[in-house]
Structure 1
Amino acid sequence: MRTGADDLVAALQELGVEIAFGLPGVHNLAIWEAAAAAGLRLVGVRHEQTAVYAADGYARATGRLGVAVVTTGPGAANTLGATGEAMASGVPVLVVATDIPSTLRRPGVHRGVLHETRDQGAMFAPVTKTTVTCDAADQLGAETVRAGAVALTPATGPVYLGVPTDLLSAPVDGDRPAAPAVPPPAPTPEADVARALELLATARRPLLWVGGGALRSGAGEVLGRLAEQLAAPVVTTYNARGVLPPDHPCLAPGLAHVPAIGALWDDADLVVAVGSDLDGLSTQNWAMPQPPTLLAVNVDAADANKNYPADLTVVGDATAVVGQLLAGAPHRAGLPELRERLARLGSRVRELVAADEPQAAQLLDVLDRVAVPDGVLVADMCIAGYWVAAFGRIPGPRALAFPMGWGTLGYAFPAALGAALAGQGRTLALVGDGGFLFACGELATVAQEQPELTVVIVDDGGYGMLRFDQVHSGTPTRGVDLVTPDFVALARSFGVPAESVDGFGPEFEQQLTAALAATGPNVLVVRAALTPPPSTSPRWYRRQGPR
């Protein structure tokens, strides 16, 4: 007998899903049974929030759909922080959550059924692209495909799929109904492309400002060629780090939070913002001046214009639109001079980092020498993570995952679990001691699944970024100095190899090299306290208030 759960799992496989993450509960056990029967790998984690973080890490590493399977009520509610991060960062994640049996639901009445909420789907509305609630077992396969397709359609993002638990065991027969088609995007108007080419032809100092939408589109190759053709510098946001290779002649060596790189924006007479909403974190809360001319390329015109009004918005997929611009853009002289200018700028940035925080310079140098070139680096919102996300050499697209969409602490370790199980090469998680404790129970999952994962825990005795905020503002430090375990003993208690070092010097390099060359998971604890980088808000050099 075929059941609703069988159709749900078959639909996930139709969407290309090979691995999902979840936590079993009394209402969703039928999904686990159906997944096992169909050969869909369902990895059991230790908290529902980490199920979504793992799905997020998997999706960022691969570009494919990440899936989390959780149970009703509190299980679903536990995912909201992670789902919000996926929404803010445009990550295609499908949260499959069971709900109370449809036979026990009375519209508008909270009856006190186990795990019942008044409207479970409504909890997800602010943090998803859309919510889908299935009300018939024979529609479950089609609704699953539809929900997954919406998550994968640009602009990508998370989708909630609610399933009354009784539908999972209900019998279904006949052919599974086809999912309703997702409407194709409207074609990009040729007149807008022609007008964009006019702007490029008259610009004397163009700048390409590249956001996460361009990376998710896979636009790196055509963006690199357009930048070279225009002899234009490229500044990326956090979510676009790695869109161009680190040795690309047009790539600025860091974020715009450094005055020397921010000056590229100030000097431009035309800014071409590709796949970016020019958010507050990238623009120091919109303290960067409005460019003389702003050309936006985005799949969503409203998203492109909500912060800085564009003189022209070309609506369409970044790869397709940039390819059209490349075909008609002028060939400008000056590429060798730009390469030399950015090389000098790179030297200045490295000198700034070394003078500002020598330990950060050591960390960046070691990672540049020993990190696995085809792996994934997942950084948390810890001070070391900020330094690496802003100034590290990211070898390629999808090689860095950083939660600067919503800014959720405790992201990196469980997200790295998902990235490591994606089979994209060895994954390196860079976490703080405070953030690691958000999900330290996932050491059990690591021991269970044996991913190719190295976790570097930078231990400064608490929430170092928040401690800096308090000291910087002249207030007493409260709530930031933490009692923490012996992390090495903790990891080893789960059977995960672990070592510790002091600082980021030669011993750190030796230990990290060995950890990355090993098979299976391991942990390296680094006792070090760093000063936050200029990319963090207390140190922004543009101090204008929010607009």
Structure 2
Amino acid sequence: MTHDHDLVLRPTPAQTEAALNPPTRRPATTPQVGAERRASMVRNGGDLVVETLQGLGATTVFGLPGQHALGMFDALRRSALTYVGLRMENNAGFAADAYGRITGEAAPLLLSTGPGALMSLAALQEASAASAPVLAVGSQVPTAGLGGGRHGYLHELRDQQASFRDIVKSVHTVRTASQIPSAIAAAWESALTAPHGPVWVEIPQDVLLAPTALPVVTAVDATPHDIVPRPELTAVAADLLSTAERPAVIAGGGVVRADASGKLRALAEKLNAPVVTTFGGKGAFPWEHPLSLQSWLEDRHTTDFLEDADVLLVVGSGLGELSSNYHTFAPRGRVIQIEADLGKLESNHPALGIHADARLGLSALLEAVRDRADSGAEERVRDVLARVRERIASQELALEQQVLSSVREALPDESPSFWDMTILAYWAWSAFDPRRPDTMHSAQGAGGLGYAFPAALGAAAADRTRPVLAVSGDGGAMYSIAELAAARQYGFDVTWLIVDDGGYGILREYMTDAFGEATATELARPDFAALAESFGVPALRTTPESLTEDLSKALGTPGPSVVVLPAALRMFAPTHL
């Protein structure tokens, strides 16, 4: 749901002129010293932005400077905020997305007007689909140029915020300096109220540049709202689960975002209920647990098992396309859905819909359900997984399984991984064991290319104590190749695995299957290792046989690195029917 906070109080033309051309007082010193003194003494609207972010608890901001946003970026010099600058706004958005996922905090993203702002839209769409808290603060043309006309300002859009309204949770517009702290605080609260998501704050250039006599912003109260389950619904759900003969659970990304994996495990064990994690919910339930059906959602054996459940608990998932085996899933039993996004309740299947944060909903159920004995539950799980393994084994996909196994062996258990839209990632959605909650992330929410590497940089900015892995294909890698410069500049401990198959591999497969041959999928590409070296980033070419060793060495060496694997991988055949 979108809530707009459009504050339209406008300064007078004289105030606007004064803001854009403030009077200069030169002290009786050299001009250079005078400029330094003015910079250290004069606060402006940009200072109110960074002071408010600090007052809310932010420590790191992402973004790119631009003409109308310079007031914000100049104010960063006078703040304690750490700035991470990427080379393209969409990549900065992906980095902020990952920072928000890893920390659970709202990640500030500072953007300029027009083209700079619009370049972030694909990243904000991913943040919205994945419920990642990103607080985007964008500039606007001066207030004199607002109102829907065509005033001829550089970067001018007739209605810039309209471009964001369909993507972000809420839009907050500012027209005077005094509105800045409240608007940013309201946006922060919105971003962190479940379901988490991106928000948009828009501030005109002249408001950012205008000197301000407002006091320094200190602590700001923007406590997110709790979405608590209604007790009468919890009571009905608990009774259904306690008396079920064949209960099962689908755990989605909402469980991960709510840090509710411990609650989920306790509830599953109390009910003896098998658990499937969606691709966005990877890590929500231990992969090797006796009740874990893992994440084989593109498999008819798993779909049949879930359809046969007499009571199915869905937590933190809207049962969208990927989570429902491409909308072929048709549950025959009673469905209970716990979901923080009100619009997703019963959006795909009739259910006992419980509007609640996943953690609070699971906590309430855990207190209300009764212990349920089921000596056959673990055996049924083993049977389904055995059928899945048998089906995959029949498809002669040893190379793909070897490569994925090598990645798992090389990656430290505590290290997060970020996966682009590439064949190896599609395998990982179903077959990769994350080993820890909140350590596997991909762009499967919105499905845009170029996510993995800039997102990994954002994760490294959030936690410098552990290496981070990014996985891309050669097509997706070209979307974010410029960020090798950012990785080198900040010394982020990110290893980038690029699987080079000469084109858009998954699209090649889709088109060949559908039309008999592929079009527009073959790509000329650089020597990725040599290109990385030109940025000052160590790189090497590897083979499937040496991948474990080479990837382990790269991950164990501080700083950025690139590992290129020339390999044409194939996707396993999904079963929808």
- 1:401 alignment partner, SS class: strand
CA separation in 2, counterparts of 1:67 and 1:532?
37
CA separation in 1, counterparts of 2:510 and 2:438?
31
Give the number of the structure whose alpha-carbon radius of gyration is greater.
2
2:116 matched residue in structure 1? 75
CA separation in 2, counterparts of 1:452 and 1:147?
31
Answer yes or no: is 1:314 the counterpart of 2:354: yes
Question: 1:179, CA displacement in angstroms?
Answer: 6.8
Question: 1:183, CA displacement in angstroms?
Answer: 7.7
Give the alignment of 1:120-159 within 5 angstroms.
120-159=160-199
- 1:120 alignment partner, SS class: coil
- 1:145 alignment partner, SS class: helix
Contact in 2 for aligned 1:224/1:248 (Cα 8 Å): no
Deviations 1:389-442 (A, max 9, x none): 221001122101111111101111111111121116211001000000011111
Give the alignment of 1:5-154 within 5 angstroms.
5-102=46-143, 104-154=144-194
- 1:471 alignment partner, SS class: helix
Deviations 1:89-143 (A, max 9, x none): 11111111111111x3142311111111101111001111111111111221221
Contact in 1 for aligned 2:299/2:325 (Cα 8 Å): no
CA separation in 1, counterparts of 2:331 and 2:429?
25
- 2:117 alignment partner, SS class: helix
Shift of the 301–107 alpha-carbon distance from structure 1 to 2, 3 Å rule, reads closer
1:236 matched residue in structure 2? 277
Moved more, 162-171 or 522-531: 162-171
CA separation in 2, counterparts of 1:377 and 1:442?
17
Moved more, 352-361 or 228-237: 352-361
- The correspondence for 1:510, drawn from 533, 536, 549, is 549
CA separation in 2, counterparts of 1:49 and 1:148?
20
Question: 1:348, CA displacement in angstroms?
Answer: 4.5
Contact in 1 for aligned 2:277/2:285 (Cα 8 Å): no
Shift of the 36–338 alpha-carbon distance from structure 1 to 2, 3 Å rule, reads farther
Answer yes or no: is 1:290 the counterpart of 2:324: no
Contact in 2 for aligned 1:96/1:161 (Cα 8 Å): yes
CA separation in 2, counterparts of 1:60 and 1:353?
32
- 1:208 alignment partner, SS class: strand
2:5 matched residue in structure 1? none
Contact in 1 for aligned 2:229/2:360 (Cα 8 Å): no
2:239 matched residue in structure 1? 198
- 1:260 alignment partner, SS class: helix
Aligned-partner residue type, residue 385 of structure 1: A
- The correspondence for 1:438, drawn from 456, 479, 482, is 479
Question: 1:313, CA displacement in angstroms?
Answer: 1.6
Question: 1:350, CA displacement in angstroms?
Answer: 4.2
Moved more, 351-360 or 402-411: 351-360
Task: Kindly report the root-mean-square deviation, in angstroms, between the aligned alpha carbons of the 2 structures.
Answer: 1.9
Shift of the 309–179 alpha-carbon distance from structure 1 to 2, 3 Å rule, reads farther
Question: 1:44, CA displacement in angstroms?
Answer: 1.4
Contact in 1 for aligned 2:242/2:371 (Cα 8 Å): no
Give the alignment of 1:130-529 within 5 angstroms.
130-175=170-215, 176=217, 184-185=225-226, 187-310=228-351, 312-334=352-374, 337-356=376-395, 357-423=397-463, 425-502=466-543, 504-505=544-545, 507-529=546-568
Question: 1:228, CA displacement in angstroms?
Answer: 0.7
- 2:94 alignment partner, SS class: helix
Contact in 2 for aligned 1:224/1:250 (Cα 8 Å): no
CA separation in 2, counterparts of 1:452 and 1:35?
24
1:542 matched residue in structure 2? 576
Question: 1:39, CA displacement in angstroms?
Answer: 1.6
- 1:27 alignment partner, SS class: helix
Contact in 2 for aligned 1:253/1:342 (Cα 8 Å): no
Contact in 2 for aligned 1:203/1:269 (Cα 8 Å): yes
Deviations 1:449-482 (A, max 9, x none): 1101000000000000111112112333211000
CA separation in 1, counterparts of 2:316 and 2:452?
24
Aligned-partner residue type, residue 479 of structure 1: A
- 1:38 alignment partner, SS class: coil
Q: Name stretches of at least 5 consecutive residues in structure 1 with no aligned partner.
A: none
Question: 1:342, CA displacement in angstroms?
Answer: 2.9
Question: 1:341, CA displacement in angstroms?
Answer: 4.0
CA separation in 1, counterparts of 2:125 and 2:326?
20
Give the total of aligned pairs: 533
Contact in 1 for aligned 2:124/2:168 (Cα 8 Å): yes
Contact in 2 for aligned 1:141/1:177 (Cα 8 Å): no
Q: Name stretches of at least 5 consecutive residues in structure 2 with no aligned partner.
A: 1-41
- 1:440 alignment partner, SS class: coil
Shift of the 11–177 alpha-carbon distance from structure 1 to 2, 3 Å rule, reads closer
Shift of the 36–398 alpha-carbon distance from structure 1 to 2, 3 Å rule, reads farther
Contact in 1 for aligned 2:62/2:84 (Cα 8 Å): yes
- 1:421 alignment partner, SS class: helix
Question: 1:316, CA displacement in angstroms?
Answer: 1.7
Question: 1:4, CA displacement in angstroms?
Answer: 1.4
CA separation in 1, counterparts of 2:315 and 2:405?
30
Question: 1:156, CA displacement in angstroms?
Answer: 1.0
Shift of the 302–79 alpha-carbon distance from structure 1 to 2, 3 Å rule, reads closer
